[in-house]
Structures are given as structure tokens and as C-alpha cells.
Amino acid sequence: MVELAVFEKEPNAVEITVDDIIRDGFSNKPKFKTFVAEELDGTIVGMALFYERYSTWKGKTLHLEDLMVTEAKRGIGAGKKLYTSIMKYAQENSFKRVAWEVLDWNVNAIEFYKNTGATVYDQWRVCHMNEQSLTQFCNENI
């Protein structure tokens, strides 16, 4: 996660802990699922984290939150296998759409996604409200 944050030029943005991940992903009601890419010795070299969403237009959809391969292992096909696993999972489980975001400067990823048939929308803007802004907004609008 830290390596991904560094790659995305947000090295201090990771707030979540290993305990959070264990609780949220491996409890009786997991909030997300993951696929991992491993070497023969079991070393994890990549991961894809996703979760179910619902669209008022499409119905059941998946959100691909993160797809990453550790820098030393990029170019060996692990990312494509993870991506393919997500798409096959979505198809086999009758999801109507898989959605994700990609940074505009990540040209390699954008080209990869386009080459797989994905549509990369330039006109949509991603909106986030962080915890501090959420607290401030709610305190001002009670």
C-alpha cells in the first residue's frame, strides 16, 4: 500500500493499518475482496482490491479500488493476470460493469485499459470528501 501511495505521489496519504485491513477484509462480512499475484515461493508481488457497488442505471457493479504490482516485478504480466481475474470474476458473477479511476499522468495504464476495450472518460471528475472536510461540513450543516 505504501509503495502504491509513493507511485501515486501521495507517500503520506496511507492512514489504514494492517489491523484495519484484517478486520475489514477478513471478517464474517468482508467489505472488499482481493486477488494477489504470488511468486512460486509465496511472495506477494501484486494485488487487486475490489468491492461491490450498485448503480441506479446498471444494477450490480464492481469497483476496482487498486490494481498494483510491486515495482521490481512490473512487466512480467502479473498486472494483466490480476486485471483479467477481476474481469472474469465480474462476468462469472453477472456484474453489469466494472469501474475504476486512473490518474491522468499514468499513460501506460491508460493505454493498457484502452487496449482491453475499457472506456476512459475524460469528462467525469472524481470527487472526494476527506475526514476533516466531512466533519467540518457536518458540523456546519446540523
Q: Which of 51, 83, 113, 121 is catalytic?
A: 113
Distance of CA 102 to the CA centre of its chain: 9
- Please name which of 8, 9, 15, 51 lies closest in space to residue 131, comparing C-alpha atoms: 15
Whether 83 is a known active-site residue: answer: no
Helices 78-92 and 107-115 cross at an angle (nearest 10°) of: 50
Residue 47: CB atoms within 10 Å? 19
Which long-range contacts link 82-85 to residues 24+ away (Cβ below 8 Å)? 82/35, 82/36, 82/37, 82/46, 82/47, 82/48, 83/48, 83/112, 83/116, 85/35, 85/48
Q: Which residues are catalytic?
A: 113
